[in-house]
């Protein structure tokens, strides 16, 4: 893409983890941006599950929702989000590790609601102290992408060895949330074999948000994913079947992306458009929260 007369290139590589890690890690992804010294690349992340990002040279600024952009720490853990994250990336590289909810439970043991819609310095946050060796797998000295990937996977294998509490219930909830047939809290609670009140508490701790908001987010992201894979589509043609009409979708779009669909469609998406296609090719879904859970 052109940035102020210069050409900025975005190179993305997605990697599936080994099969035994797939219940916990969605993908590992490497991003390298070149030619953006004077004008950074800008884009908007959609709502997603938790992600750990390692940015050796701290070349990324970000802000969740309407918060101002600020420079990200070298290793940043972003909890599950229910609103877009705006970011700017200058020339440099970064690694990301996408976490399924069971991965979050094994790696942190923390309530997801405590980190929802916020990010922390993963190397300074007391609740994430055991992740410091993982963050150290990527250093300021640039190495082979495959060597860095393998180092991250070796450390993840150690960190993910200990099961978390209630994993069978988390798996059932992951499956129910990614099943488009479920679109009410009552249906979700029935699928989990829980009361509505218990489902509320469980979803807050495990996923970070109320079941109603989670279902609403899934419906929205299913629609947005279609557009990201084919921007020539009209918004009306992307709508999930559970939307009553386009006005219903527009309200959700503004809630989750902090702008209207037409405003979003006019913006360049140098990172997210490439990521949707690359992720689809590797993982079978354009967006993290749509990834089907694996057993284990």
The whole-number pLDDT of residue 296 equals 57
- Mean of the pLDDT values across residues 238-259? 96
The whole-number pLDDT of residue 53 equals 98
- Mean of the pLDDT values across residues 166-174? 97
pLDDT band at 142 (very low <50, low <70, confident <90, very high): confident
Q: How far apart are CA 217 and CA 256, in angstroms?
A: 8
- Give the SS3 label for residue 148: helix
Tokens of 190: 């029935």
pLDDT tens-digit readout, 46-59 = 999 999 999 999 99
Q: How far apart are CA 51 and CA 132, in angstroms?
A: 15
Q: How far apart are CA 135 and CA 123, in angstroms?
A: 7
pLDDT band at 5 (very low <50, low <70, confident <90, very high): very low
- Mean of the pLDDT values across residues 278-283? 97
Listed in order, strand segments (DSSP E) in 60-139 are 60-64, 70-71, 75-78, 85-89, 92-99, 119-121
List of residues 6+ apart from 240 with CB closer than 8 A: 180, 219, 220, 222, 223
Burial 13-33 (b: 16+ CB within 10 A, else e): bbbebeeebbbbbbbbbbbbb
Per the CB < 8 A criterion, the answer to whether 73 and 123 are in contact is yes
pLDDT band at 7 (very low <50, low <70, confident <90, very high): low
Q: How far apart are CA 231 and CA 208, in angstroms?
A: 30
| Whether the predicted pLDDT of 2 surpasses 80 | no
pTM of the model: 0.95
Q: How far apart are CA 43 and CA 11, in angstroms?
A: 14
Per the CB < 8 A criterion, the answer to whether 265 and 254 are in contact is no
Q: How far apart are CA 94 and CA 70, in angstroms?
A: 17
In the chain the domains, ranked by start, together with CATH numbers, are: 2-159 (2.60.120.10), 167-290 (1.10.10.60)
Neighbour count for residue 187 (Cβ, 10 Å)? 15
pLDDT band at 143 (very low <50, low <70, confident <90, very high): confident
Residue with token string 């990697």:
15
DSSP 192-255: HT--HHHHHHHHHHHHSS-HHHHHHHHHHHHHHHHHHH-TTS-GGGT--TT-SSHHHHHHHHHH
- For residue 111, what is the DSSP state? -
- Mean of the pLDDT values across residues 194-200? 97
pLDDT tens-digit readout, 85-116 = 999 999 999 999 999 999 999 999 999 999 99
């Amino acid at each position: 893409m052109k940035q102020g007369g210069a050409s900025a290139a975005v190179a993305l590589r997605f990697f599936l983890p080994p099969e035994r890690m797939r219940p916990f890690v969605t993908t590992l992804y490497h991003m390298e941006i070149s030619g953006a010294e004077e004008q950074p690349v800008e884009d908007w992340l959609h709502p997603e599950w938790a992600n750990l990002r390692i940015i050796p040279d701290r070349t990324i600024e970000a802000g969740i929702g309407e918060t101002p952009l600020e420079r990200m720490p070298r290793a940043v853990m972003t909890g599950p989000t229910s609103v877009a994250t705006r970011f700017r990336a200058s020339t440099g590289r970064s690694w990301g590790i996408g976490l399924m909810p069971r991965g979050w439970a094994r790696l942190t043991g923390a309530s997801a609601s405590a980190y929802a819609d916020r990010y922390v310095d993963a190397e300074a946050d007391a609740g994430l102290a055991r992740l410091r060796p993982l963050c150290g797998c990527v250093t300021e000295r640039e190495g082979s992408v495959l060597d860095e990937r393998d180092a991250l996977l070796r450390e993840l294998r150690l960190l993910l060895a200990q099961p978390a509490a209630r994993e069978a219930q988390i798996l059932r909830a992951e499956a129910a949330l990614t099943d488009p047939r479920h679109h009410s809290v009552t249906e979700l609670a029935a699928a989990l074999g829980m009361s509505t009140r218990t489902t509320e508490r469980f979803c807050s701790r495990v996923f970070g948000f109320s079941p109603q908001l989670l279902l609403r987010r899934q419906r929205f992201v299913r629609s947005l994913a279609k557009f990201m894979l084919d921007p020539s589509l009209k918004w009306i043609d992307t709508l999930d079947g559970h939307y009553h009409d386009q006005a219903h979708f527009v309200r959700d779009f503004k809630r989750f992306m902090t702008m209207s669909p037409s405003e979003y469609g006019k913006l360049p998406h140098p990172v997210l458009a490439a990521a949707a296609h690359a992720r689809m090719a590797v993982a079978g879904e354009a967006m993290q929260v749509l990834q089907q859970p694996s057993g284990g």
